[in-house]
């Protein structure tokens, strides 16, 4: 019979993981965490492990601790699902106002080859280029760089890019529903320019989200690169093993 010995540091890390998840889920609605003794009881951990876990979360910039006052949430994390195609403002409804500082909105007469290839456009074709600094509740959240097929992007240049999601605007101005998107997520560190825009330290952790969005017929119309503050954002998905439940139900009915 084997016995696993859990070190104090490992236990603190495990407790920090649980508390971080609670922070992400908005468990502490008033912005204050319970005291160490209450956390220790609820988590089945020692007070020493809880104290060290809170120190880890403080170093991540998620909480602040003051003697005689308690532990307070500094940077709430907001979730974005990866199992549904939705814009950021739509996803964050209820968390605060999402606004966009429009840094670039223009037609590029001869788009880079990498862009025309990705959008399925002829070499040398024009494309619409957008860059927006997105804020939630006034605090910077992401820098979004977007390239659009010209027929899809040109009408957006006359639209409210400061307050609306690009997805909503595409569907409204084109009359098409978006179909699907391919998404790749990388872990990167902030370069000096991105760090300045997002108000984080050089080298701070970011999510880099690469997304290509298509119409229902498969035509690519929107390619984006998002640099998102990892201290304010989480990515979520519901994954099914062995096929989607709806497919399984259909198979069961067919077998009856």
CATH of 8-73 given 1.10.10.10, 3.55.40.20, 3.20.20.140, 3.40.50.150 = 1.10.10.10
- Residue 104's contacts (CB-CB under 8 Å, 6 or more residues apart) are 129, 130, 131
How do 233-236 and 78-81 pair as beta strands?
parallel
Closest CA to 198 of 81, 115, 75: 75
Domain 79-236 = CATH 3.40.1410.10: yes
What would the 3-class secondary structure string for the chain be? CCCCCCCHHHHHHHHHHHHHHHHHCCCCCCCECCCHHHHHHHHCCCHHHHHHHHHHHHHCCCEEEECCCEEEECCCCEEEECCCCCCHHHHCCCCCCEEEEEEEEEEECCCCHHHHHHHCCCCCCCEEEEEEEEEECCEEEEEEEEEECHHHHHHHHHCCCCCCCHHHHHHHHHCCCCCEEEEEEEEEECCHHHHHHHCCCCCCEEEEEEEEEECCCCCEEEEEEEEEECCCEEEECCCCCCCCHHHHHHHHHHHC
Summarised one tens digit per residue, pLDDT across range 180-202 is: 889 888 888 899 999 999 998 89
pTM tops 0.85: no
Q: What is the dihedral of CA 50, 51, 55, 60, to 10 degrees?
A: 20
From first to last of its 256 residues, the chain has per-residue pLDDT tens of 444 445 778 888 888 888 877 776 667 777 888 888 888 888 888 889 898 989 888 877 778 888 878 888 776 555 554 545 555 555 554 556 778 899 999 999 999 999 999 999 999 999 999 999 998 878 898 899 999 999 999 999 999 999 888 989 999 999 989 998 898 888 888 999 999 999 988 988 888 888 999 999 999 999 999 898 888 777 766 667 775 544 444 333 333 3
Whole-number pLDDT of residue 4: 46
Domain spans of the chain, in order of start? 8-73, 79-236
Summarised one tens digit per residue, pLDDT across range 48-71 is: 989 898 988 887 777 888 887 888
């Amino acid at each position: 019979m084997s016995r696993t010995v859990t070190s104090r540091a490992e236990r603190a890390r495990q407790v920090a993981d649980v508390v971080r998840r609670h922070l992400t889920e908005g468990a502490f609605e008033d912005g204050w965490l319970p005291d160490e003794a209450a956390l220790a009881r609820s988590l089945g951990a020692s007070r020493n492990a809880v104290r060290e876990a809170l120190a880890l979360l403080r170093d991540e910039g998620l909480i602040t601790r003051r003697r005689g006052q308690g532990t307070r949430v500094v940077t709430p994390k907001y979730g974005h699902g990866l199992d549904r195609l939705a814009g950021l403002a739509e996803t964050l409804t209820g968390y605060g106002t999402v606004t966009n500082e429009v840094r670039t909105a223009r037609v590029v007469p001869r788009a880079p080859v990498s862009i025309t290839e990705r959008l399925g456009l002829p070499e040398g074709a024009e494309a619409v280029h957008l860059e927006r600094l997105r804020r939630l509740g006034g605090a910077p959240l992401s820098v979004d760089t977007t390239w659009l097929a010209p027929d899809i992007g040109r009408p957006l240049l006359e639209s409210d890019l400061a307050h609306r999601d690009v997805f909503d605007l595409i569907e409204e101005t084109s009359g098409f529903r978006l179909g699907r998107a391919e998404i790749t997520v990388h872990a990167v560190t902030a370069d000096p320019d991105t760090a300045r825009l997002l108000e984080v330290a050089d080298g701070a952790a970011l999510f880099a989200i690469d997304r290509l969005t298509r119409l229902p017929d498969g035509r690519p119309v929107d390619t984006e690169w998002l640099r998102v503050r990892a201290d304010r954002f989480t990515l979520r998905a519901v994954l099914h093993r062995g096929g989607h439940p709806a497919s399984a139900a259909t198979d069961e009915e067919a077998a009856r």
